[in-house]
Structure 1
Amino acid sequence: MASVPGQRVAVIGGGGNVGASTAFALIAKGIPVEVLIVDVSEKAALGQALDISDASFMMPGTCRQATFKEAGQADVIVVTAGARQMPDEPRSNLIDRNYAIIKSIMDSLQPIKSTAKILMVSNPVDVLTHIAQTTSGLPREQVLGSGTYLDSGRLCNALSDITGVSPTSIHAYMLGEHGDNQFTGWSAARIGGRPLLDHPKLQGVDLESINKKIAHKAYDIIDAKGSTYFGIGMCAATIAEALLNNTSQVFPLVHYVESFGCYMSWPGAIGSDGVEQSFDVKLDASENEKLYVAIKAIKEACAKYT
């Protein structure tokens, strides 16, 4: 029998669509890791684990059902559990419903491995990452959230369609809040080492319409099929991979930004210790106004759960 990989990633809420998509992406990416599926519905967790394990026979990773206690000793703990966002419902409405869920999860994971990293995916992720840190007892740099990584990927895909350049070669971020107050950092965006907005194919393009389309895409998906999961599952798996492999890659994700005094979606480099660096993004005046609107909304929400 093949040996079990030494590193573990636990997926809390793995019985659901987002959790299962994250677990499957971890296996499909060929990461040599043991994936633990945990859910309050043990039957759903078992079903997903058995199904995903069928996809692992040609991959170095393995997948099985596990308990909350086992999950607390994982190297990376991905939390996807939470109340589902309804069509046209602002992410902020989920806070009260999800606070009790997140606190219960953190209590069930105890004692949490001191070197573990917690990756929050549940919405509203900026506020719930703050709640996860305060209830888990882990240092701030070890608790992060998926943030606007997926939104930024959607942005780069849209810009790729316009410019004809690969989305991986476009450096542009959605920033501030993963929610209705997110905005595009157009002035800081780059392509081929030059300002993105200097690209000839972007001249005369309605930037605000792009921003609105990106910000609303999740609602379009929810309206059409009930929830989003494939995109965010791949994003969560990619962040987990960077944490495991100590890559120091930069992602637009939720982490505590000292200069702003709160958890928010902002570019940060991550490695085996969690968030290693946070970057100073140069924005123009109008973008800074949007930034502080987002920060104010996050701080007001977090103040209720300190």
Structure 2
Amino acid sequence: MSSNLVPPDDRFREYFREYRAKKTVNTIPYSGSMPQSAPDTVPVGNFNSKKVTVVGMGQVGLGCVTAILNQDICGTIAMVDIATKKLEGEAKDFQQGGGFHQTTTILASDKYDVSANSDLVVITAGVAQKPGESRLSLVERNAKIMKMIMPEVLKYSPNATILIVSNPCDIMTAIAAKIAGPDYPQGKVFGAGTNLDSSRFQMLMASSMDLDPRNVHGYIIGEHGDSSIPVWSSVRVGALPLLDPGQEPDDTLKAIHKAVVDSAYDVINLKGYTNWAIGMSTAYLAKAVLNDTRTIVPVSTCVRGLYGVEDDVFLSVPCSLSSNGVQRVAVLPLTKDEEAIFQKCAKGIWEVQEPIWATL
């Protein structure tokens, strides 16, 4: 099978090369004494040279591609999945919408050579948790998948920044980083973490106050999951702190966090999966990486040594994102209660992660 399931048709390219040669000329120097230094041929490609690969074309992967494509973030998107027939259909469907966005090349394959020289690789592949299945069992199955994906990604894009979206996100990010090895730059493998959780958090509070969500500042940190931690002590509404110094969150604020945790389950119960919000979150992170913006966002990275954590655990904390992934890690001044919850969260993650950590 061809490495690219939807290759450009060489007949069409040759036809229009000849057309261009007949109808256009090279750039003209302003003086006849100057040589024409412009190349005889015009390179075929995109004005935006950035390339993003998305591995895994389930609902989350498709949500990521849709958001990245609609925001004109990169010049090439490569889609990788083992379900070749469906993948080919998805790629053609995206390509046929090419008149409604910037010139973006869309590639698709069941082989990883299509991902070569990517600036950013987004990994969404993994299996869903079965009814009654333990988290450890799910981690073991998805760890096997990650062990197949990462060597292929690194083979074709050895300098790529790698964003892990696969669940359980924090443990899968740790696994991916360990597979990449100690020589791979720290922070270049990071997880989507609680970026979406924090967006839900800010949106819920802002909508309750009839404010633009961008005017509410606050973080959900820790695990991307049920044991996530709202940092109430850092929440600001505009320039004003939500809580006074030493004030603890009341039952209403605790209910807001519960609503954030439950929000994904609400969507899953209604439609069977989540994809659009995580896709938009991924596009936001991709833009920060590809444009080297140094945006501070809560993403999953190694937190050993922070807040009393001693194990090789990856959890979300505010990080500055650059073209090399996590550039710097911000250390929030947590309250004693918040720090204790963070330590408990890290311990719970490590208990699930430890049995397979030494086998990688």
1:243 to 289, 295, 298: 289
Residues 1:54 and 1:196: Cα distance change in structure 2 (over 3 Å): farther
CA contact (8 A) 1:90 1:179 kept: no
Say whether residues 1:156 and 2:202 are aligned partners: yes
1:157-204 CA-to-partner distances (Å, cap 9, x unmatched) read: 110111222111211111111112112100111121221236xxxx97
Say whether residues 1:189 and 2:235 are aligned partners: yes
**Shift >3 Å, 4+ stretches:** 85-93
- 2:169 aligns with 125
CA contact (8 A) 1:173 1:189 kept: yes
- 2:253 aligns with 207
- 2:55 aligns with 12
Give the letter for the 1:41 counterpart.
A
Say whether residues 1:282 and 2:325 are aligned partners: no
Say whether residues 1:35 and 2:77 are aligned partners: yes
- 1:262 aligns with 313
- Secondary structure of 1:266's counterpart equals strand
Say whether residues 1:102 and 2:153 are aligned partners: no
Matched-pair identity in %: 33
Aligned-CA RMSD value: 2.1
Q: Normalising to structure 2: TM-score of the pair?
A: 0.78
- Secondary structure of 2:101's counterpart equals coil
CA contact (8 A) 2:108 2:114 kept: no
Instruction: Report how far residue 258 of structure 1 moved.
Output: 4.7
Residues 1:226 and 1:92: Cα distance change in structure 2 (over 3 Å): farther
CA contact (8 A) 2:173 2:190 kept: yes
Say whether residues 1:291 and 2:335 are aligned partners: no
- Paired with 1:89 and 1:167, the residues of 2 have a C-alpha distance of 37
CA contact (8 A) 1:177 1:264 kept: yes
Instruction: Report how far residue 92 of structure 1 moved.
Output: 5.9
1:50-106 CA-to-partner distances (Å, cap 9, x unmatched) read: 112223323223322133133253110000110124579776652122111111111
Unmatched 5+ residue regions in structure 2? Answer: 1-12, 14-43, 307-311
- 1:168 aligns with 214
Give the letter for the 1:36 counterpart.
A
Residues 1:87 and 1:153: Cα distance change in structure 2 (over 3 Å): farther
Instruction: Report how far residue 113 of structure 1 moved.
Output: 2.6
- Paired with 1:252 and 1:25, the residues of 2 have a C-alpha distance of 19
CA contact (8 A) 2:122 2:165 kept: yes
Give the letter for the 1:10 counterpart.
T
- Report the count of equivalent residues: 301
Which has the larger helix fraction?
1
- Secondary structure of 2:278's counterpart equals helix
- Paired with 2:127 and 2:322, the residues of 1 have a C-alpha distance of 30
Residues 1:172 and 1:90: Cα distance change in structure 2 (over 3 Å): farther
- Secondary structure of 2:155's counterpart equals coil
CA contact (8 A) 2:163 2:190 kept: yes
Unmatched 5+ residue regions in structure 1? Answer: none
Q: Which moved more, 1:62-71 or 1:158-167?
A: 62-71
- 2:114 aligns with 70
Q: Normalising to structure 1: TM-score of the pair?
A: 0.91
